[in-house]
Amino acid sequence: MNLELIHAELVRIREALEARPFASGAPAAKPAAPRSDEVPMPTEIIEDAGSVQVHFGKNKGVALSTLGDRSVAWYAQEAEPRIGNNGKPFPPRPEDVLLRNAARTLIHQKRGTLPSAAVPTAPVANIDEGNVPF
């Protein structure tokens, strides 16, 4: 095989590798923050979702209803699983699941996108239709 052809192929490979963003030595770009319209539905509807408090981080002890929409959307996203020494992921902690479902419930309540069966409604009072004042 001709050495010039091999050299030309190696040059093309090097150019392709250098064109990749993580090959330049710069850190890989972080994924963009999740858009609020990408929030999944809750696996369980939480009744008073706004009163659920964050149990970790800088917002520890703060109710979801007092946080901004972007913060609530962040808590609504699925977290990366924690991996044990055996290589298997730990199951999610109950408080993490509660916070995630509360954040998802709160977002979808504000949007009005919860399934109609899941939206809590006020009980309907018995009304005497013959005695309506209008």
Where are the domains positioned within the chain?
33-115
Q: pTM of the entire structure?
A: 0.59
Q: What is the 3-state secondary structure (H, E, C) of 8-60?
A: HHHHHHHHHHHHCHHHHCCCCCCCCCCCHHHCCCCCCCCCCHHHCECCCHHHC
pLDDT for 64 beyond 90: yes
Query: Which tokens belong to 88?
Result: 């298997």
Per-position DSSP letters for 94-124, written without gaps between them: HHHHHHHHHHHHHHHHHHT-S-TTTS--PPP
> What is the reported pLDDT for 22?
60
pLDDT for 123 beyond 60: no
pLDDT for 86 beyond 60: yes
pLDDT for 95 beyond 50: yes
Torsion of the alpha carbons at 42, 48, 50 and 52, rounded to the nearest 10: -80
- Average model confidence (pLDDT) for the chain? 80
pLDDT for 42 beyond 60: yes
Instruction: Please give the average per-residue pLDDT across 66-74, as a whole number.
Output: 93
Strand partners, 53: 63
Query: Contact, 110 vs 51, CB < 8 A?
Result: no
pLDDT for 26 beyond 60: no
Give the single-character DSSP code of 6.
Answer: H
Least confident of 1-5, 12-16, 35-39, 68-72: 35-39
Instruction: Please give the average per-residue pLDDT across 105-116, as a whole number.
Output: 86
> What is the reported pLDDT for 18?
82
